[in-house]
Amino acid sequence: MIDLLGLDLDGTLLSKTKKINNPSKLALTNLIAKKPSLKVMILTGRSVFSTLKHVEKLNSLFKKPIVDYFCCYGGAKLYQIEANKPQERYKFCLENSVVETTFSIIKKHRGLCLAYLDSYVSPYLCLAGNKLLGWFTKYFWYRKRCVFFNQNHLKQGILKISVYFLSAKRCKKVYEILKNTFQEKVNVLSFSNNLIEITHHDANKGYAIEYMAKREQLSLNRIAVIGDSWNDYAMFKKAKYSFAMSKSPSQLKLIATNTSNKTNRYRFSTLLNLISETIINQKAD
């Protein structure tokens, strides 16, 4: 039996068009119908602004809200929705020394840093590193949502740094440099051949799940999670039931309770149906 379902957004709940598709809506509706008390928690690397939009859309699908908690920035912030407004429950900002060291390394290797500021208003992103890539990112993508880094941004606090490289070979090299530089002091995750993400040591989805469970007096044995990438590993280790999407890293699949075998628009709904048919009302140990 489960009381909570933790969901990643990109590559999991959201389709390739960044929406909740009809098969997923139907499967989720059937799951909630089978257990009306079931709650959903969203856990994502996105910003609070982007995450909240999807939380609101998800809640609007049902007669009563199903999402009370969500974490964003890869677990650096946790929110609880009260009176239809998100209330911050914790946050982890990177130490200034970590930020400055990261920016220095990335600039040397001609990569681009996209740092997420602890801010509720735009601009909430700052750019550092390769100036040409930064210019294209600002003027063709984020526009008013981002600015170029200055020392005052350290006072605001930085929740997460996304690092981009055009060269996969260089990205792999810098990933190893960052891992060796920081050791276990921060989370350094390789998301793709061109993307690295850096967060505070305690800023992960596993911590978010555990924190929420203690706050709501829920057992981790009654929680299931679904994800598809490295930043889902921590929550897979915490929850009793974990389900990996078909294109997940092999190490994530190894620790998963089950894995989707679909790569089409049914890849997420297949896992929801599996949960509905097996563990949704199964007796807890």
Burial of 262 (0-12, 13-18, 19+ CB in 10 A): middle
Q: Do the annotations mark residue 3 as ligand-binding?
A: no
The C-alpha atoms of residue 151 and residue 229 are separated, in whole angstroms, by 32
**Among the options 3, 8, 68, 232, which is catalytic?**
8
Give the CA angle between residues 24, 25, 29 to the nearest 5°.
115
Q: Do the annotations mark residue 68 as ligand-binding?
A: no
The residues that bridge with 6 in the sheet, in sequence order, are 41, 225
Q: Do the annotations mark residue 9 as ligand-binding?
A: yes
In sequence order, what DSSP letters do the residues of 224-285 get, joined into one string? EEEE-SGGGHHHHHHSSEEEE-TTS-HHHHHH-SEE----STTHHHHHHHHHHHTTTTPPP-
- Which residues touch 232 (CB under 8 Å, ≥6 apart)? 8, 43, 205, 225, 244, 248, 252
- Give the C-alpha distances (Å, rounded to integers) separating 212 from 71, 137, 202, 219, 281: 10, 35, 14, 10, 22
Alpha helices (H) in 84-195, listed in sequence order: 96-108, 131-137, 152-156, 168-182
Note if 285 is an active site residue: no
- The tokens for 50 are 């982007």
The residues that bridge with 244 in the sheet, in sequence order, are 227, 259
> Which residues participate in catalysis according to the annotation?
8
Binding site listing for Mg(2+): 8, 10, 228-229
Binding site listing for phosphate: 9, 44-45, 205, 231
